[in-house]
Each structure stands twice: as structure tokens, then as C-alpha cells.
């Protein structure tokens, strides 16, 4: 498995081109940033190595000096996103306290990871299983949702969540709520710091007062 890159991609070192001008010198980490931007813009399948080298401003041979191909870049990008998500599950807040408290912590941190790793999480949410790497990523996402479903089941059993809630459906809805943020969130927009807590509040309390919720409509037999 390709290790996830750490830290901000360096781009300060420069090299002199044949025309005497200065051109950027990339490493595997900074090329990954370029690749993720292209994958999110064009789609992974539609992005060629020519597209990536053009976006980076280097030759294909220079690109291949750092990576074996775009599948390696995809694996590194998805690993970075998944490591961020699964890292949440090993935090004390995800392992201690009531099931509902742990769920709240996980949802809060999911939003924070999405905010801090937006391009990488966005790419993760767009994979469709067309390659071995994509199928691996989808399996990891299902494993994450299974953990949430187990916590929902525990919360139902403990009386912290309404009886009758189907855990797998609830887990998908919770992850879907968080994941939808990637479609509109932009770093630095007003309210960014409050977003994780606000998502947790709305998920936990809803937006309609209980007295205003009409009875469930049961279809005729």
C-alpha cells in the first residue's frame, strides 16, 4: 500500500529550464496535489498522464520519475482520505462513553476531516469501483459505515436512539449528511469553525420541533 503523504507539499525549490527561465521542481507529494485537482475536475478515468504532466508543467518522463502511473496517485490520495476517517475511530472520544456520545464525536470529527482534507475526501466520494484501487476504497468506506451502524444499534439498545431505527440505514444517512458537505463547502467561508458542531446538533435534534411533526403516513394495504 502506498503511504499517505504527510505535511504541506513543498514547492519552494526551483530549477532552471533550457531557456534560462525558472520552472517548478516537484516531488511525489506535490504531484499528488496536482493529480487530485485534475481527477476532481476531469474525473479519474478521463484524466491521462498527459493531462497530469501538462497541469504540473513538467514532461511525462519527469512525472514518471516520481510515480509509476496515475493508479499509484489515486491509491495515495484515497489512502490519505481513508486514513483521516479511520483515524477518528481510534480517538478516545470514539472509544469511550455512551454509544450516542461516541456517535456524536465521530460525526463531529468526520466534518473536520472533510474540511481539512476536502480535495482528497471529495475524490474518495466520487470513486465508482472501476479499478482495483477504487474497489478497495469502497470496501473501506463500507467498513467505516458498518462501525457507525454498530454504534447506532448499541444506542438503540441503550434507549438513547428512538426504538425501531434501522442501524444500517441510519449509518448511511449519517455518512450521507456529512459527505454532502463536500458539494458546497469552501474553506474559509463564514461559519466554517462552527460547522462540525452545527451538523452534530441538527443530526441529533433535527430541525422540526417534535410537536410540529405529523404522524407517519402508512400506505394502504
Residue with cell 513543498: 10
Task: Note whether residue 219 is domain-resident.
Answer: no
Which of 23-37, 60-74, 147-161 shows the lowest mean pLDDT across its residues?
23-37
Decide if 140 contacts 82 (C-beta within 8 A). Answer: yes
CATH of the domain at 133: 1.10.357.10
Q: Does 16 have pLDDT greater than 80?
A: no
Contacts (Cβ under 8 Å, ≥6 apart) of 131: 71, 74
Q: Are residues 52 and 133 in the same domain?
A: no
Q: Are residues 126 and 174 in the same domain?
A: yes
User: What does the alpha-carbon distance between residue 140 and residue 104 come to, in Å, rounded to a whole number?
Assistant: 21
Q: Are residues 83 and 42 in the same domain?
A: no
pLDDT in tens, 101-118: 999 999 999 999 999 999
Q: How many domains does the chain have?
A: 2
160: left (phi > 0), else alpha (psi -120 to 50), else beta?
alpha
Residue 82, pLDDT score? 98
Task: Note whether residue 97 is domain-resident.
Answer: yes
pLDDT in tens, 43-55: 999 999 999 999 9
Give 94's pLDDT tier (boundaries 50, 70, 90). Answer: very high
Query: What percent of the chain clears pLDDT 90, i.e. is strictly above it?
Result: 66
Q: Are residues 140 and 199 in the same domain?
A: yes
* Cα 159-164-168 angle, rounded to 5 deg: 100
Residue 65, pLDDT score? 84
Burial of 81 (0-12, 13-18, 19+ CB in 10 A): buried
User: What does the alpha-carbon distance between residue 191 and residue 115 come to, in Å, rounded to a whole number?
Assistant: 12
Q: Are residues 188 and 150 in the same domain?
A: yes
Task: Note whether residue 40 is domain-resident.
Answer: yes
Q: Are residues 124 and 80 in the same domain?
A: yes
List the domain range (segments joined by +) for residue 157: 74-203
DSSP 219: P
Task: Note whether residue 14 is domain-resident.
Answer: no
H-helix or E-strand spanning residue 14: strand 14-16
H-helix or E-strand spanning residue 151: helix 132-157
Kindly report whether the global pTM for this prediction surpasses the value 0.75: yes
Residue 162, pLDDT score? 86
DSSP 212: G
Q: Are residues 99 and 36 in the same domain?
A: no
Task: Note whether residue 4 is domain-resident.
Answer: no
pLDDT in tens, 131-153: 999 999 999 999 999 999 999 99
Q: Are residues 150 and 194 in the same domain?
A: yes
Q: Are residues 193 and 106 in the same domain?
A: yes
* Nearest one of 128, 138, 122 to 184, comparing CA atoms: 122
Q: Are residues 60 and 105 in the same domain?
A: no
Amino acid at each position: 500500500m502506498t503511504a499517505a503523504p504527510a505535511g504541506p507539499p513543498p514547492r519552494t525549490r526551483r530549477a532552471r529550464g533550457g531557456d534560462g527561465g525558472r520552472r517548478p521542481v516537484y516531488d511525489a507529494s506535490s504531484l499528488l496535489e496536482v493529480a487530485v485537482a485534475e481527477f476532481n475536475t476531469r474525473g479519474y478515468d478521463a484524466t491521462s498522464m498527459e493531462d497530469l504532466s501538462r497541469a504540473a508543467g513538467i514532461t511525462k518522463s519527469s512525472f514518471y520519475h516520481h510515480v509509476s502511473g496515475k493508479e499509484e496517485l489515486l491509491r495515495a490520495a484515497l489512502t490519505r482520505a481513508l486514513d483521516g476517517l479511520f483515524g477518528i475511530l481510534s480517538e478516545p472520544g470514539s472509544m469511550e462513553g455512551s454509544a450516542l456520545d461516541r456517535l456524536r464525536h465521530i460525526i463531529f470529527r468526520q466534518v473536520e476531516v472533510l474540511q481539512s482534507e476536502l480535495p482528497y475526501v471529495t475524490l474518495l466520494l466520487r470513486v465508482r469501483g472501476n479499478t482495483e484501487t477504487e474497489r478497495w476504497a469502497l470496501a473501506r468506506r463500507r467498513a467505516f459505515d458498518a462501525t457507525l451502524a454498530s454504534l447506532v444499534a448499541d444506542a438503540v439498545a441503550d434507549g438513547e436512539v428512538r426504538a425501531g431505527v434501522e442501524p444500517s440505514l441510519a449509518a448511511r444517512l449519517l455518512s450521507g449528511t456529512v459527505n454532502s458537505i463536500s458539494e458546497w463547502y469552501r474553506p474559509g467561508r463564514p461559519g466554517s469553525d462552527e460547522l462540525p458542531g452545527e451538523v452534530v446538533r441538527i443530526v441529533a435534534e433535527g430541525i422540526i420541533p417534535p410537536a410540529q411533526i405529523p404522524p407517519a403516513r402508512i400506505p394502504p394495504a
